A and B are shown apart, each in its own frame.
Chain A
Amino acid sequence: MGLLSKKDANLIIDPLTDNNPITIQVLGICSALAITAELKASLVMGIAVLFVLGVGNVVISLMRNIIPSKIRIIVQLIVVATLVIIVDQVLKAFAFELSKTLSVFIGLIITNCIIMGRFEAFALGNGPWKSFLDGIGNALGYAVILIIVGFFRELLGSGTLFGIPVLGDPIEKTGVYATGYENNGFMLMPPMALIIVGLIIWVQRSRNKDLIED
């Protein structure tokens, strides 16, 4: 890593594993889970958050010395809202179907706790470059969980990935379905997203005993 010093690299790598925003910091679950029934929507949501958090962290970090601390929440909200409007308009222009699926959840990125949390905890006290890395790292950590959940829900729920059938045809009974396998429609219901995240937390904490709560 010539470009990044070890400390900077840690800013990106930490949130992916031991300091994951969803499973460890418990931030940003709000808008994450409802859209993970499809892998494609999860991926787009991840990219949207990556953009908003990366750019937003830099903007807040540049302004950190001129924001009066009393009204910082409102300033932060306005910055995020502007960035989210950009994302929303771009999605509506280039991927209208997808923006229909995501509906209000793009708007809910504004109140995504990851974004406010990183602004408060990091961007207000660090320079732009570091804040950018921190934003990218946390957004990636968020996106990874979203993609894992989306992968399992779409695969087990409708037997497809990115809308492409991978397990064979459920009506013609080809592929895996020939052995009597059936899609589990329940995976598409909202509660299963929570249970999958619960299982991810279980796996992660069994592998790393330091993370166990008492």
Chain B
Amino acid sequence: MIEHLELFFKSIFIDNMVFAVFLGMCSYLAVSKKVATAVGLGAAVIFVLAITVPLNWLLDQYLLQPGALSWLDPEYGIGGSQEMDLGFLSFIMFIATIATMVQLVEIVVEKFSPSLYNSLGIFLPLIAVNCAILGGSLFMQSREIETLGLALNYGVSSGIGWFLAILAIAAIREKIRYSNVPAPLRGLGITFIITGLMGIGFLSFGGMLTGGDEEGEPSTEAAINTNDLKIEDAKELADNTKIVK
């Protein structure tokens, strides 16, 4: 349970897709002029990430990792006579899964929920080529997320992180229209700089998970050390003074 919570907050705030690793910047900049459209795209990203990350986790686990094919025949496993590593295929497998899933989701949503389709639909084709989606799967692979549940959690929470980011920037951009920004910076330039400043703000979340645990012990150790030092210093001082005498 605790690992779920930890991963959840970590992927929303600390490893935020936009502010920490710049994923999905293209649509982040292009679709953030109005809050309403930003919310639509953000929701679509959460939705698609929640589907594709667990799916790609399964692919990675049972097809792509070194020795992952051992469920077919133990010979293909690690140490078997025909050890298999299909890792080089992961890019093409992931992107194919994402593209087909997006298409499928679009068809299903159009069929069963026209109202949802009207609000999300136009964003779905955009999403197939959104770096945040592929990035989610690739980070899932490189961070070696352990269980299917955690993979689902990672997909949803990093989607929420992206949603928060685009919502925030859209709100700021709506307001900034009334400000007197230097002409060459208007539009794109100021958006970049604001995103940078927001990123600096999000850096402060970095201490959220590691801070509490590690603080206790080192500080007591340090205190003990300083005590020792003081005692030694005192002894030295005493010695020195003796010598002086």
Name A's B-contacting residues (CB within 8 A): 23, 26-34, 73-74, 77-78, 81-82, 84-85, 88-89, 103-104, 107-108, 110-113, 116, 189-195, 197-199, 201-206, 211-214
**A194 and B196 contact, CB distance less than 8 A:** yes
**A89 and B88 contact, CB distance less than 8 A:** yes
User: Which 9 pairs of residues, A with B, have the shortest CB-CB distance?
Assistant: A191-B199, A213-B187, A198-B192, A205-B184, A30-B131, A194-B196, A195-B196, A198-B193, A104-B138
B35 within 8 A of A: no
Query: How many residues belonging to B are interface residues under a CB distance threshold of 8 Å?
Result: 51
**A190 and B199 contact, CB distance less than 8 A:** yes
Q: How far is the CA of A82 from the CA of B125 in the complex (A)?
A: 21
Residue on B with the closest CB to A106?
B91
Per-residue A-contact encoding for B11-30, CB less than 8 Å = 1, 0 else: 00000000111111110011
**A111 and B125 contact, CB distance less than 8 A:** no
Given A26-B188, A82-B92, A110-B95, A194 and B23 contact (CB-CB distance below 8 Å): no
Q: Which of B131, B186, B197 contacts A31 (CB 8 A)?
A: B131
Residue on A with the closest CB to B182?
A202
Q: How far is the CA of A88 from the CA of B30 in the complex (A)?
A: 29
Q: How far is the CA of A56 from the CA of B183 in the complex (A)?
A: 37
**B21 and A190 contact, CB distance less than 8 A:** yes
B152 within 8 A of A: no
For chain B residues 129-168, which have a beta carbon within 8 Å of chain A? 129-131, 133-135, 138-139, 141-142
Chain B at the A interface: mostly helix, strand, loop or mixed?
Answer: helix
Q: Which of B130, B190, B193 contacts A111 (CB 8 A)?
A: B130
Could you give 15 example pairs across A and B, Cβ below 8 Å? Answer: A29-B22, A29-B29, A33-B22, A74-B100, A82-B92, A104-B135, A104-B138, A110-B91, A195-B196, A199-B193, A201-B188, A202-B185, A206-B184, A213-B186, A213-B188
**B24 and A30 contact, CB distance less than 8 A:** yes
A79 to chain B, nearest CB (A): 10
Name B's A-contacting residues (CB within 8 A): 19-26, 29-30, 88-92, 94-96, 99-100, 125, 128-131, 133-135, 138-139, 141-142, 182-193, 195-200, 203
A164 to chain B, nearest CB (A): 27
Q: How far is the CA of A205 from the CA of B125 in the complex (A)?
A: 32
Q: How far is the CA of A112 from the CA of B139 in the complex (A)?
A: 16
Q: A77-B128, A111-B129, A198-B190 are in contact. List 7 more A-B contacts (CB 8 A).
A: A73-B99, A77-B99, A104-B142, A107-B91, A191-B197, A194-B195, A202-B184
Chain A at the B interface: mostly helix, strand, loop or mixed?
Answer: helix
**A88 and B134 contact, CB distance less than 8 A:** no
**B134 and A108 contact, CB distance less than 8 A:** yes
Q: How far is the CA of A26 from the CA of B33 in the complex (A)?
A: 14
Residues from chain B with a CB closer than 8 A to the CB of A26 are 26, 29-30, 188
Q: How far is the CA of A32 from the CA of B131 in the complex (A)?
A: 11
Residue on A with the closest CB to B184?
A205
Residues from chain B with a CB closer than 8 A to the CB of A29 are 22, 25-26, 29
A32 to chain B, nearest CB (A): 8
**A205 and B189 contact, CB distance less than 8 A:** yes
Given A73-B129, A190-B22, A194-B199, A111 and B134 contact (CB-CB distance below 8 Å): yes
**B88 and A88 contact, CB distance less than 8 A:** yes
Residues from chain A with a CB closer than 8 A to the CB of B141 are 104
Residue on A with the closest CB to B203?
A189
Q: How far is the CA of A45 from the CA of B182 in the complex (A)?
A: 32
Given A26-B26, A88-B88, A113-B26, A214 and B129 contact (CB-CB distance below 8 Å): no
